[in-house]
Amino acid sequence: MAYCSYLNLYLAFYLSCIAPLSLAQTAKSSVPFKAVNLGDWLVTEGWMNPSLFDGITNKDLLDGTQVQFMSTNLQEYLSAENGGGTDVVANRASAFGWETFRLWRVNDSSFNFRVFNKQFVGLGGQGTQVRADSNAPGDSETFQIIRNDGDPNRVRIKATNGLFLQAKSETLVTIDYEGLGWEDSNPSNFKMTIVKTLKGEYQITNGYGPNRAPQVMRDHWNTYITDEDFGFMSSNGLNAVRIPVGWWIAQDPTPPKPFVGGSLQALDNAFTWAKKYGMKVIVDLHAVEGSQNGNEHSGTRDGYQEWGASNIQDTVVVIDFLAKRYANNPSLAAIKLMNEPLAPGVTLDTLKKYYQASYDAVRKHTPSAYVILSNRLGPADPKELLSFARNLNRVVIDVHYYNLFSNKFNNMDVQQNIDYIYNQRASDVKDVTTSNGPLSFVGEWTAEFAKGGASMQDYKRFANAQIDVYEGATFGWAYWAYKCAANHWSLKWMIENNYIKL
Ligand SMILES: *[C@@H]1O[C@H](CO)[C@@H](O)[C@H](O)[C@H]1NC(C)=O
């Protein structure tokens, strides 16, 4: 409080002449932060805001959708024999990995089918027999899915040569059927089952396509988070935002397709609003090229985790870009180098090499911004980065705590969830909070829990227990998320409805 005593502040309040500037000067915005994640803003997560996908044709057939096809004639599933590399057959009574095809969307109705071993289904260059041995999809790996008007999961699959795929026999699947018809005995008829969908940034931008996606995304960026939201956050006790961004932001305004430009302007706006309301910004590289975890929020096309050593250099370029742009912005608190790398696909060795190179990139531009290292998800020791991080300056270990996504939480009642926070989570936080090492940050948590359906009082107790314990983290915490269609995941909703008071 540089200018005024409490008395002056109250006077100023009653004279209603607190300009945003003086708020900025009086707000406490240093560690430990009370922060919130601006999830689903610059990196789409469809479950948080499903209606954003409503304008897409065939919106259930987006990139990465996993489908299975049962021949209605043979009552057997199509299968990429051996998981790929050879013939496609139609002789499986039930469907697992080899019988599952991941869609790459070419346009509203045409697709490539990626098999278990990552090859694509096609003609294999000659003859009519269907194979799964192409490493890059072209015209002969592109198929139109034609849906039955009355039953959208009854389909025929048409090749670019105008002929249909048919299951001639259990071991002979060909592209040479010319007829029409929707009878069960028609060898070109299949029952399609959708077993998994992805709804991330790749899916929404490629789903709308190059003509519509730019407008849809810009409208979303301009309305989902605004100046007023930063006002709401700061007046309700939050002093920082963690903003997930995707790797394509570094190539704004012309990122590689299907991503569209404009998210950089939105991030710039966030810095402007943060300054106005005396808040800090944590920039979080949430989606890296190749995908570090296969989740939709990693920007993946089809759910394969492919980020590795060969991607390090390109990803450091993204960090360098962000650090350079915001290094001298007083609202920059930290840059998080990568969200939720997943073990064992991302090895500790590769991750450390990347973290070191990205740390150096940030330090080229700023000595003071914190650098945040995400722990690995999956089978990984939560302390595995501590000794590495001890050699770096102003670094933070980011951990995410959800009483979800694991069977052990499925039957826990509210009190058991709360006990888990005071026992297990408290000890987890202690494990990554050391006296002369990196700071600790609970970068994601939420008041929802696996069983759900509890009373308002119970949700309040569960949220407060977490705030109690996560306040022990020396860099602070960040709620997931600010806005979400599922109410308990929305801190805005939780504050407005008196579930959470900071
Ligand atoms: C979709 O792609 C297929 C295959 O390239 C092409 O034949 C078809 O004309 C395209 N449809 C539209 C509507 O662009």
Q: Can you give the CATH number for the domain in which 77 is found? A: 2.80.10.50
DSSP 49-87: SGGGGTTSTTTTS-TT-EEEEEETTT--EEEEGGGSSSB
Distance 176 CA to ligand 1 centre (A): 20
**Given the CA of residue 139, which atom of ligand 1 is nearest to it?**
5
Distance CA 98, CA 74 (A): 18
Residue 58 lies in a domain: no
Q: Verify that 223 and 180 share a domain, yes or no.
A: no
How many angstroms does the Cα of residue 144 sit away from the middle of ligand 1?
Answer: 8
Which of 134, 168, 196 is the endpoint of a domain? 196
The SS3 assignment for 203 reads helix
Domain that holds residue 172: 65-196
Lining residues, ligand 1, CB within 6 Å: 106-108, 110, 142, 160
Tell me the CA–centroid distance for residue 489 and ligand 1, in Å. 39
Q: Determine which helix (DSSP H) or strand (DSSP E) holds 287, and give its type and residue range.
A: strand 280-287
Residue 28 has a pLDDT of 61
CB 502 within 8 A of CB 236: yes
Contact partners, residue 74, CB within 8 Å, separation at least 6: 90, 91, 167, 169, 170, 187
Give residue 300 CA to ligand 1 midpoint distance, Å.
Answer: 23
Residues contacting residue 266 through CB under 8 Å, at least 6 positions apart: 41, 42, 221, 222, 225
Residue with tokens 């595995």: 384
Torsion of CA 131, 134, 139, 145, to 10 degrees: 50
Distance (angstroms) between ligand 1 centre and the Cα of 108 equals 8
Residue nearest to atom 3 of ligand 1 (CA): 110
- Take atom 14 of ligand 1 and give the residue whose Cα is closest: 107
pLDDT on residue 436: 87
In angstroms, the CA 268 to CA 249 distance is 11
Q: Note whether 228 and 189 are same-domain residues.
A: no
pLDDT tens, position by position, for the chain (502 residues)? Answer: 333 333 333 333 333 334 444 444 444 678 999 999 999 999 999 999 999 999 999 999 999 999 999 999 999 999 999 999 999 999 999 999 999 999 999 999 999 999 999 999 998 767 899 999 999 999 999 999 999 999 999 999 999 999 999 999 999 999 999 999 999 999 999 999 999 999 999 999 999 999 999 999 999 999 999 999 999 999 999 999 999 999 999 999 999 999 999 999 999 999 999 999 999 999 999 999 999 999 999 999 999 999 999 999 999 999 999 999 999 999 999 999 999 999 999 999 999 999 999 999 999 999 999 999 999 999 999 999 999 999 999 999 999 999 998 889 999 999 999 999 999 999 999 999 999 899 999 999 999 999 888 999 999 999 999 999 999 999 999 999 999 999 999 999 999 999 999 9
N-to-C CA span, the chain: 20
At 164, list the tokens.
Answer: 């249909």
Q: Which residue has the tokens 């006296």?
A: 435
Asked if 300 and 403 sit in the same domain, the reply is yes
Report the alpha-carbon distance of residue 502 to residue 470 in Å, rounded.
13
Contact call for residues 69 and 77 (beta carbons, < 8 A): yes
CATH number, domain containing residue 427:
3.20.20.80
Q: Is residue 15 part of a domain?
A: no
183 lies in the same domain as 234: no
List the structure tokens of 149: 């008007």
CA of 450 to the centre of ligand 1 (A): 43
The reply to whether 373 and 464 lie within a common domain is yes
Residues 6+ apart with CB under 8 A from 368: 394
The atom number, within ligand 1, closest to the CA of 142 reads 4
Is 407 contained in some domain?
Answer: yes
Mutate to test the pocket of ligand 1, among 105, 107, 157 (most ligand atoms within 8 A of CB): 107
Three-state DSSP at 41 gives: coil
Q: What's the CA-to-centroid distance between 110 and ligand 1, angstroms?
A: 6
Dmax (CA) for the chain in angstroms is 87
Q: Residue 124's pLDDT is what?
A: 73
Same domain assignment for residues 264 and 146:
no
Q: What is the count of structural domains for the chain?
A: 2
Ligand 1: which of 106, 161, 163 to mutate, most ligand atoms within 8 Å of CB? Answer: 106
State which ligand 1 atom lies nearest to the alpha carbon of 106: 2
What letter does residue 98 receive in the DSSP assignment?
Answer: G
Together in a domain, 302 and 269: yes
Cα 208–Cα 214–Cα 219 angle in degrees, nearest 5: 100
Domain annotation covers residue 192: yes
Among 61, 112, 144, the mutation site with the greatest number of ligand 1 atoms within 8 A of its Cβ is 144
Side chain identity, residue 165 = L
For ligand 1, atom 7, the nearest C-alpha belongs to 160
Indicate the helix (H) or strand (E) that contains 352.
helix 348-365
Give the dihedral of Cα atoms 242, 223, 303, 213; nearest 10 deg. -140
Please check whether residue 264 is in contact with residue 249, taking contact to mean a CB–CB distance below 8 angstroms: yes
Q: Identify the CA nearest to 115 among candidates 80, 139, 144, 145.
A: 80
Rounded to the nearest whole angstrom, what is the distance from the C-alpha of residue 111 to the centroid of ligand 1? 9
Q: Which residue has its alpha carbon closest to ligand 1 atom 12?
A: 107
Domain assignment of residue 107, yes or no: yes
End-of-domain residue from the set 196, 215, 235: 196
317 and 246, same structural domain? yes
Tokens read off for 499: 């579930």
Residue that is last in its domain, among 196, 214, 229: 196
Task: Tell me the C-alpha distance between 463 and 100, whole Å.
Answer: 40
Using CA atoms, how far apart are residues 422 and 242, in angstroms rounded to an integer? 25
| CA-nearest residue, atom 10 of ligand 1 | 107
Q: Burial of 37 by CB count in 10 Å (0-12 exposed, 13-18 middle, 19+ buried)?
A: buried
Instruction: Please tell me the distance between residue 372's alpha carbon and the centre of ligand 1 in angstroms.
Output: 44
In angstroms, the Cα distances linking 152 to 94, 156, 157, 196 are 21, 11, 13, 16
CA of 107 to the centre of ligand 1 (A): 6
Ligand 1: distance of its center to the CA of 138 in Å?
Answer: 12
Nearest alpha-carbon partner for 474 in 447, 425, 441, 497? 441
Q: Are residues 333 and 406 in the same domain?
A: yes
User: Cα(150) to centroid of ligand 1, in Å?
Assistant: 23
20 domain-assigned: no
Is residue 314 domain-shared with residue 436, that is, in the same domain? yes
Is residue 203 domain-shared with residue 171, that is, in the same domain? Answer: no
Using CA atoms, how far residue 28 sits from 23, 140, 230, 335, 477, in Å, is 10, 61, 15, 20, 15
Q: Are residue 330 and residue 362 in the same domain, yes or no? A: yes
Is 461 inside a domain boundary?
A: yes
Residue 6: inside a domain, yes or no?
no
Q: Which atom of ligand 1 is nearest to the CA of 107?
A: 1
Q: CA torsion 290→294→297→300, rounded to 10°?
A: 40
> How many angstroms is it from 246 CA to the middle of ligand 1?
29
At 21 the pLDDT is: 44
d(CA 258, CA 107): 11
Pocket residue to mutate for ligand 1, from 57, 58, 110, most atoms within 8 A of Cβ:
110
Q: DSSP letter at 425?
A: I
